[in-house]
Structure 1
């Protein structure tokens, strides 16, 4: 992570600085080349004129003075004729000049051209105010360029700094989570550049923690619930080995079969719960008219000692869900109601401002408020269900399906029957006209 952030900052800074410097140097080079080319072209023209004038003045001396006066009146480049004795040069330049080649000298006043006239013993001088463009080390344009790119760098750093902080925070949280601190979560900001990654990390962390919690509950609960039937099996087998009475052997065989049925039921329940993972659920969503669908469920749920009444909504209502998983939810709720009720059970469909509700109410002892969030966990049973059959998995299965299917479980009190009211909530539905 540190290497990523360092490389990100270095690449941005190097790109801006390198590109800015390259553009500035190219522009300066273009300007300098233009000025130099202008000076060189004028010097070349003057050399051509000077060569022609030197030949003319060296052969015809009478016209030189008038031509020079007239030239100097109309041109900035000034002509003059001086004797060779007045034109002093260093020895190295004098040797070059004696060969007949023109001499170009440059001073603070400008560039001058000098031509030797061998027949007359004079020197033709062409003085100009032209100067070779100096190599400026630092200009005002370069200062403005530096200020501009420093401003760009500062703006980019202001943009990158929140990203760096978010990446550092993500790195710290993932490291702590990997070290076993499963409660670590990232606080997601609306302005975060990586909010989608942070949200996905939090979801992943929730799934991992939930999976580990389920494994702990399952391992502890399974070991506890299996001890009793295993012990009974051991006692039953020992009793079978010791008795010769046929009636007692039949009785012991029946007890062993019941214990095996209990163990098999526990294993099936565990497998059903373990299958209810988000990755395993592939819902087949279908439109279901809820009133008629629940009425069919009640017809097949017949109990000789319990009266199950269905109270549908006044209008047909359609929901989009998977009938298989919805059936698992409703059947588990009805099974719990049959187990804990005294005589009556209501299955109702209610529509209000919050959405559509499927209520299962009974006239049993109910579920205490402090136990409502505990009984939805695997193998956790309320204090009023200690003496009843079951493994404490019914509501856990309903809650697990509701998390993935969008039909969350709600637990409350029945105002009609006085017992528990366990509900499924559906936010989206469609009412049909009769």
Structure 2
């Protein structure tokens, strides 16, 4: 969750920084199609009139005409060579198509258009920021319209305007002087031949210019900026925030989905469905939690299964010695013969020893069950440990020949293991081998020179163990079948304890065929 919190905060900061640093470039990119269309509509009529003003003139006459026109424009107007202005491939393509290009030069907007059949390009400044800027920008256009229309008599001027307005991207028109409803101050300026600007409402400027010796007045309306322009920054910020929201929603949804799976598995497990597990992917943000739940469920299920098996097996194992003790006790009460009493008492003591042994085995198994006992690993010399442990087992061998040996590398090696647990492991394996051996039991310890693993093997010369029976023998209360001629089966916990001691050392235990002809138990650990 901390990782998710940090990720969301980094994402929010990245969005904020991206917005602050890139809002202008993002805005330009989004508004570019609208801008290009807007400036095309604004400038195409003006540049068309400029082209008509210099059409058919030689270089000197053209230069003189441009010098005459420049004062009529409150913003800079120039006719430049094309190589004086650097255009991108996209801008050059637009210019060659007869379209207009806008460029920002020193924080000012300039419009450019090619002069047909020449290597020249018109350059005109443009600004629509304030009403006074719009008036200054349009003053030159109004003058060009006036010059064009005054070439015609008043009666033909409306028709000329109809033809002229086709070159404009906005609705210029001729209005009758007598029909105007302007204030007197504006009318007086019109009569004086001055350009009149009237602010109808906020950001709505109308321009009027009286044609000389004519009842007509040129009307240039306010040109609206692209509708997207005032909202572009808000749109960019909204888009970035929407991306953050969608990303957060995706993260929250995946978390909710994974948590729902864990909740469902927990409810199933609590209802007794002990095989319930949480499905998850390794890249899931709750993968570790899901895995921990599954591990817990697996261990709990194994523990419950083991306890059920243990309870069933214990009840079975206790039944026999308890029944014998009850029989001996009943017989002891009924007999008066001293030898019989002694025999029954001896039998009862034997049964009590068997019960005591069973309880000790059960306690050991319980401590080792499911890895609940942690091995106290210490570095020990292998051969001295083996000698001491085997010497303590010699009295149990009876008529069986018991031998042991270490290979040359083991004689010089140490290993990390819990000597108490390993003594119990060796004792269980050796006693098991003695129980089923015919004449001989051999124990060997060797060390692998490549991976330094220790290999402890216990061999007997009995009849061996069928392959199909080998894995089952490490389960609690599992005993070998009658093919192993034995005097005493034991309780079936010895090899189960061995298995758990090996697990505590993260090692392996296997049953193989012995070179002596019987069974070989091999334990390996690093």
> Shorter-normalised TM-score: what interval?
0.5 to 0.7
Select the residue among 457, 475, 479 that pairs with 1:359. Answer: 457
Q: 1:236 to 1:284 in 2, by over 3 A?
A: same
Does 2:305 match 1:213?
yes
Match of 1:304 among 370, 383, 398: 398
TM-score by length of 2: 0.55
Match of 1:374 among 453, 461, 472: 472
Judged with a 3 Å threshold, the aligned counterparts in structure 2 of structure 1 residues 371 and 208 are, in CA distance, closer, same or farther, namely same
Give distance in 1, aligned partners of 2:231 and 2:366.
75
After TM superposition, the structure 1 stretch with the greater mean CA deviation from structure 2, 378-387 or 154-163, is 154-163
Aligned pairs for 1:107-256 (under 5 A) are 139-159=231-251, 161-187=253-279, 189-256=281-348
Partner of 1:51: none
The alpha-carbon distance between structure 1 residues 279 and 372, as it changes in their structure 2 partners (threshold 3 A), is: closer
In structure 1, how many angstroms separate the alpha carbons of the residues matched to 2:280 and 2:378? 35
Q: Does 1:425 align with 2:524?
A: yes
- SS of the equivalent of 1:143 reads helix
Structure 2 residue aligned with 1:314: 408
Q: Structure 1 CA distance, aligned partners of 2:281 and 2:407? A: 42
Aligned partner of 2:488 among 385, 388, 410:
388
1:237-276 → structure 2 map (5 Å cutoff):
237-276=329-368
Equivalent-residue separation in structure 1 for 2:341 and 2:240 (angstroms): 99
Pair 107,412 (structure 1): closer, same or farther in 2 beyond 3 Å: closer
Give the secondary-structure state (helix, strand or coil) at the position aligned to 1:372. helix
Are 1:278 and 1:404, in contact at CA under 8 Å, matched by a contact in 2?
no
Give me the whole-angstrom Cα distance separating, in 2, the residues matched to 1:108 and 1:374: 93
Give a deviation string over 1:93-138, Cα, whole Å, max 9, x none: xxxxxxxxxxx99666569xxxxxxxxxxxxxxxxxxxxx9x9996
How far did 1:358 drift? 0.7
SS in 2 for 1:381: coil
CA contact (8 A) 2:447 2:455 kept: yes
Alignment pair present for 1:350 and 2:446: yes
Contact in 2 for aligned 1:310/1:347 (Cα 8 Å): yes
- Which has the bigger relative contact order, CA under 8 A and spacing at least 6? 1
| 1:179 Cα deviation from its structure 2 partner | 2.0
Taking the TM superposition and a 5 Å limit, the aligned residue runs for 1:74-93 are none
Shift of 1:156: 4.2
After superposition, the CA RMSD in angstroms is: 4.3
Which residue in 2 is equivalent to 1:340?
436
Q: Which runs of 5+ in 2 are unaligned?
A: 24-73, 75-131, 136-182, 187-198, 207-224
Name the CA shift for 1:404/1:185 in 2 (closer, same or farther; >3 Å). farther
Between the aligned partners of 1:326 and 1:229, the Cα distance in structure 2 is 30
TM-score normalised by the chain length of structure 1: 0.65
Shift of 1:347: 0.9
- Equivalents in 2 of 1:278, 1:311: separation in Å? 32
1:228-258 C-alpha deviation (Å, 9 max, x unpaired)? 1111111111111111111111111111111
Using the TM superposition, give the Cα deviation of residue 296 of structure 1 relative to its aligned residue in structure 2, in angstroms: 2.0
Shift of 1:351: 3.5
Deviations 1:38-74 (A, max 9, x none): xxxxxxxxxxxxxxxxxxxxxxxxxxxxxxxxxxxx9
- Local SS of the residue matching 1:269: helix
**How many aligned residue pairs are there?**
338
Report deviation, 1:281.
Answer: 2.5
Is the 8 Å Cα contact of residues 291 and 313 (structure 1) preserved in structure 2? no
Contact 1:411 1:421 in 2 (8 A): yes
Distance 2:374 2:351 in 1: 34
